[in-house]
Structure 1
Amino acid sequence: MKHTSTRISHLPMNTSWMREKLQQFRDSIAYLTSIIITIYVVLGIAAVSLEVNSLPDFLSFIKFDQPGTSRSLLTTLMAGMISLLVFSFSTVMSVLTQAGSNFSNKLVFAIMTEKRHQQVLGHYLGTILYLLILLLVPAIGNTPDIWRSLAVYLGAGMVINSLAMFVFFIHGASQSVQINAITQGLLVSTQQSLDKLRKRQQSDAYTYRVAQPIDPDTGHVIYSRDSGYVQGANFDALAELARRHNIAIHLEFSFGDFLVKRLPIMTVESETPPGDELVDRILACLDYVEGESTEDHYVNGLTQLMEVAIKGLSPGINDPGTARLCIHQVTELLSQRLALTPCNMRVDEQGHCLLSWHEEGFESLMFRVFNPILHYGEKDLSICLSLLKAFKALSNFATAEDNRIIQAHTDRIIALMADHFTAPLEVAFIEDRLTRGLHRLHINPHLPAGSSSD
C-alpha cells in the first residue's frame, strides 16, 4: 500500500504529556503507597500541631506521668518498624528474585505492583513517618498532655497493625510466587481482556471487515512522537474525531507492538492533510504502557504463559510440569478466542469506516504460542502429548478454516513424535493416545514412519 510522503512533525501538547505522566504514576507501585503515606503524615501533623484541651476526664489515666517515657516508647517503636520493614522486603525480594529466575522476570514487577503489596508498603512507611513526626516535635512541658499521649498510643496501635499486616504480607507474597497462582492470575487477567472484546463485538458500532487498499491521494501518514508499548487506544474518542472532521483513521500497527519515535503508525484518509491540532488529538488517544499489560491486550497473556512454559523447559529449570500447566491455561484461553471474531473496525450509522486497526489472526496466535513450546519440548513425550491433547480440545471450538490450521500443527507434532520416539514401548504408548478423546481432527491411529519434518 502506497502512501503520500506527507510527514507531520510537531511538539506534543502539554495536556498529552501530563496525561501520560499521570498514567505512568497511576500504574507504578508509588500510586497507592503515596496516598496511604499522605494520610499518616496528615495524622502526624495534626497530632503535633493541634491543641485539644476538652478531652473527657476519664481519659486522664492514659497520660504519661514520667518525663521521657513517651520518647523512649516512640524510639523503640521506630526501631522496631525499621527492622520489620527491612526484614519483610528483603525476604520478599529474595523470593521474587527466585521466582523471576524460575518463571519470568515480567511477572516480578506485576507481583510487586499488586494493590495489597502497595497497601502494606504504604502502612509500613506511613507508620514510620508518623512516629518520626512525633519524635521531631517534642511535647510542651515535662510530660505530654492527654492529646499527645493519645497520639503516642495511636502510634503503638499503628505498629500492632503493621505486625498483623506482616503476617498476611509474607503469606500472600509466598503464595503469589507459586506457579499455580501465577498461571491462574495470568488466566484471569487475560480473560478480562477477552471479555472486553466480547462486549465490543456485541455493539453495532464495531464490525469485522477485510482491509481495503487506501487511495494514495487521500491517505496521509502520521508519525509517532514517543517510543513505547501501545496496548490500546480510546476508540470512542478516535471515532468522534473521525466523525467530526469527516475522515477515516487507520492504525497501521498491532496493539502490543513497541513503537519507536518518528515511525509511521497510522494513516488518515481525508481530502486534505490533517492539521497539527487534529494530529495532536489523535495521538493523545493512544495508550502507552510500560511493559506488557495482560488486562488491556489478551495476546500478552498468551505470550507470557508461553514464556513461563519455555522457561520451565530450559535445562537449568527442567520442570515440564510447569509447561504442561501453562499449556492447559493457553488451551482454555484459545478456546474462548475461537468463539470470537475480533472486530477491527468502528463504523458510523451508515456503515462507513471511522476507525480501523489490526487484529492478530488465529493462525498467527497458534504459531506464536505453541511453536516455541514445541521447539524446546519436542524431545519430552509428556509435552508432545499435552500439545496433541490441546489441539484436539481446540478442534471442537474451531471453524473449518481454523480447524485447518489446528490440523497442520497436529500433523507436525505427530511427525516429530515419530522421529524422536521409536522404541516399541514408546510407540505403543503414543498410539494408544493418538485418537483418544472427542475431537474433529483427522489422525491416523498409527505413527507414520520416522522421517524428519523440518
Structure 2
Amino acid sequence: MTGHARAAERDSLPDVRSTTVWGRIWRPFWVLPLVIIVVAAVVGLLLPEAERAITEHLPFVFEGGADGARSMLGTIAGAMISVTGLVFSITMVVVQLASSQFTPRVLNDFLSSRVTQATLGIFTATFVYALTVLRSVRGTSDTDSYVPQLSVTLAFVLVLASVGMFLAYIHHITRSIQVSAIVSHLGAVTMDVVTRYFPAADGPRPPEPDRPRPAAEPVRIDAVEHGVVAEISLRRLRDWATEHDALVEVLIPIGQFVAEGMPVLRVWAPGTAREDVEPLRVSVVVEEDRGFHQDPALGIRKLVDIGERALSPGINDPTTAVQVTDELHRILRALVVRRDLTSVVAVEGTVRLVHRPQRIAELVALALDELLHYGKDSPQIPPRVLAMLRDLQTVALPEHAEALRGWERIADDAARRLARSPGG
C-alpha cells in the first residue's frame, strides 16, 4: 500500500479503540472485588494446610497459641466487615452527591474507579480470609493444638494493606468530588478520543468519493435490543464488504438511541445469502450507556450538563460553569484544527462502506448552544465564550471558520445585551 493510500485510509476511518471481550469482562463494578475475594478465600483454604511443614522454619510469624489466634482472627473479621460497610456507605454518599451536584452521567466515572473497587475488594477479602483461616485453628493452648502461624500473620498483613487502601481511598474520594478534578478528567478523556477520531490536517483536504446508487435491493439488519450505539466496528464492515464485493451502509451514528426493530445496517451483496450477512450484526454494539471509546460527543455532553446544572437557580454556581467553558475551550481548540471524516469509504476506487461520522460543526454546536442559552444572563459566560471563539478563529481550519463566526455573532449579541442591562 502506498503512502498516499495509507493517508487516505487514515482519513476515511477513525483510529478509535473497540472494547475487547477481556475488557467487557473486567468492566462491571463487582468483578475486581469478587476476584480479590475469591483469591483470598483460596489462599485461606490452602495456606494453612501447606504451611504445616514450613512454619517452624520461618521467622517473624505469629507466635501465640490457639486462643490468641482465634481472638486475633475474630477481631480482624469483625472490624473489617464494619469498615467495609463504612466504605460502601461513603461510596453511596459520594455517588448521590455527584448525581445531584453535577450530572447523573458522571456516575460511571466514579464506579469505574479501580481505587474504589480495589478498596472494597481488599476489605471484604480480609474479612473472608480471616474467617477461612479461623476454621483451621484447632485445639486450645495445649501442646496438641494447631495454629497456622504464617496464615495468621498474613491476616495481619492484610489489615495493614487495608489501612493503606483506606487512606488512598479517602484521598481519592475527596479529590474525585472536586469539580476541577471531574472537569479535567472529562477533558482529558475527550481529548484522547478527539485526536483518535478526527484526522489531522496534513495537506489539502482529500475529495470524498461519490455515494453509489445500487440498483439491487439491500438486505436490512435490524436492532434486536434497545439502547445506545456505543461502538461500531467500521474496519470489520469495510473488510467484509471488500471480501464479498459488497457495499455496507451504517444507518445509526455513534451515540444515538435505537429501539428494537430499527434498521442499523443495509447491505448490498449480490449472490450472498442472508445468513452470511447476519454476522455483521455484532459489528454494531448497543449498550445501556454511551462509552468514550468511539464517541467524542460524550465528554462534551457531560461537560455541558455540568455547566447547565451550575447555572441553574437551584445551584447558582457560575464559576463552575466558567471552569467548564475553559475545558470546552481546550477541546474545541483541538477540534477546529482537524478535519471531518469522510462518510464514504472506498477501497481501490470502489466504495465499500458508507457511515455517519460525527461532525466537528455538530460538536461545536453541542458545546456552545445550551451553554449560551442557559448562561445568557450570567455576567461571566457570554464574555468568556466570546473570547474563546475569537481565539479559536486564530487557529481554525478554513472549513470551520464560517461556523465559528456565526457563533461569535451570537455570543457577541449576548455580551452586548448584558452590557446594556442595568448593573451590566
> Under a length normalisation based on structure 1, what TM-score does the superposition of the two structures give?
0.81
Aligned residue for 2:193? 193
Aligned residue for 1:350? 348
Aligned residue for 1:380? 378
The answer to whether the 8 Å contact 1:95/1:174 transfers is: no
Seen in structure 2, the aligned counterparts of structure 1 residues 210 and 385 have a Cα distance that, compared at 3 Å, is: farther
1:398 Cα deviation (Å)? 2.2
> d(CA) in 2 for partners of 1:61 and 1:86?
30
1:98 Cα deviation (Å)? 1.6
1:153 aligns with 2:153: yes
> d(CA) in 1 for partners of 2:88 and 2:197?
38
The letter for the 2-side match of 1:266 is L
The letter for the 1-side match of 2:298 is N
> d(CA) in 2 for partners of 1:178 and 1:211?
49
1:208 Cα deviation (Å)? 7.1
1:165 Cα deviation (Å)? 0.9
The letter for the 2-side match of 1:249 is V
> d(CA) in 1 for partners of 2:208 and 2:147?
70
Aligned residue for 1:26? 26
Bigger shift: residues 365-374 or 73-82: 365-374
Aligned residue for 1:7? none
1:178 Cα deviation (Å)? 0.5
Seen in structure 2, the aligned counterparts of structure 1 residues 424 and 92 have a Cα distance that, compared at 3 Å, is: closer
Aligned residue for 1:364? 362
Aligned residue for 1:116? 115
5+ long unaligned stretches in structure 2: 1-18
1:271 Cα deviation (Å)? 2.3
Q: What is the root-mean-square deviation of aligned Cα atoms in Å?
A: 2.8
1:310 aligns with 2:308: yes
The answer to whether the 8 Å contact 2:292/2:299 transfers is: yes
Aligned residue for 2:274? 275
Seen in structure 2, the aligned counterparts of structure 1 residues 311 and 38 have a Cα distance that, compared at 3 Å, is: same
1:369 Cα deviation (Å)? 2.0
Aligned residue for 1:394? 392
1:47 aligns with 2:55: no
Seen in structure 2, the aligned counterparts of structure 1 residues 214 and 131 have a Cα distance that, compared at 3 Å, is: farther
1:112 Cα deviation (Å)? 1.9
The answer to whether the 8 Å contact 1:63/1:145 transfers is: no
Bigger shift: residues 319-328 or 137-146: 137-146
The answer to whether the 8 Å contact 1:229/1:292 transfers is: yes
The letter for the 2-side match of 1:369 is A
> d(CA) in 2 for partners of 1:200 and 1:412?
28
Aligned residue for 1:76? 75
Bigger shift: residues 180-189 or 261-270: 261-270
The answer to whether the 8 Å contact 2:229/2:290 transfers is: no
Where 2:261 maps in the other structure, the secondary structure is: coil
Task: Give the percent of matched residue pairs that are identical in Structure 1 and Structure 2.
Answer: 20
1:180 Cα deviation (Å)? 0.7
Seen in structure 2, the aligned counterparts of structure 1 residues 344 and 298 have a Cα distance that, compared at 3 Å, is: same
1:75 Cα deviation (Å)? 1.0
Q: Deviations over 1:41-78 (max 9, x none)?
A: 2211113443522444464973323x422111111111
> d(CA) in 1 for partners of 2:140 and 2:201?
72
Seen in structure 2, the aligned counterparts of structure 1 residues 376 and 197 have a Cα distance that, compared at 3 Å, is: same
Seen in structure 2, the aligned counterparts of structure 1 residues 61 and 366 have a Cα distance that, compared at 3 Å, is: closer
Seen in structure 2, the aligned counterparts of structure 1 residues 174 and 182 have a Cα distance that, compared at 3 Å, is: same
1:341 Cα deviation (Å)? 1.8
The letter for the 2-side match of 1:176 is S
> d(CA) in 2 for partners of 1:406 and 1:345?
22
> Under a length normalisation based on structure 2, what TM-score does the superposition of the two structures give?
0.86
> d(CA) in 2 for partners of 1:58 and 1:403?
73
Aligned residue for 1:417? 415
Aligned residue for 2:92? 93
Aligned residue for 1:251? 250
The letter for the 1-side match of 2:393 is S
The answer to whether the 8 Å contact 1:41/1:130 transfers is: yes
